[in-house]
Amino acid sequence: MLGYVTLGSNDLARATAFYDKLSAEFGGKRLLELPEGKGVFYGRSMAEAGLLIRTPFNEQPATVGNGVMAALAATDTAMVDRVHAAALALGATDEGAPGQRTDFFYGAYFRDLDGNKLAVYVFI
């Protein structure tokens, strides 16, 4: 059902350097660049859900939404660990180390360079 998630950035060059590397962990890449350098869409294909990293449409500063989080699906627990470590190495801040959260959910949490909260998870 989900088509894409938009995450705002105040420094698109810095954000896209981060997401260029992070999306590669999922087999993703830049699929579309918005006109006038306003944003970049990441994914594996235009037919799948993806992430749009952009400056806000209203041209006001990007701010973090309290309670808003994008969750990225991993293929296994090793990928959760690897993506979380990669995000931190790229400058993200830790919001919860990889681990078993419930009987069926293994996940980790971090904030990107603009403070947007993301999870990487796998149902097991």
pLDDT of residue 52: 97
Q: Determine contact, residues 51/22, Cβ cutoff 8 Å.
A: no
**Residue entry with tokens 């149902």:** 123
Instruction: List strand residue ranges (DSSP E) for 17-91, in order.
Output: 29-33, 39-43, 50-54, 70-73
The CATH topology of domain 4-56+68-123 is 2,3-Dihydroxybiphenyl 1,2-Dioxygenase; domain 1 (3.10.180)
pLDDT of residue 1: 81
pLDDT mean values, one per 10 residues, the chain (124 residues) = 94 98 98 96 96 96 94 97 98 98 97 98 97
| Distance in angstroms (rounded) separating the CA atoms of residues 30 and 79 | 20
| Distance in angstroms (rounded) separating the CA atoms of residues 118 and 86 | 13
Q: Determine contact, residues 19/13, Cβ cutoff 8 Å.
A: no
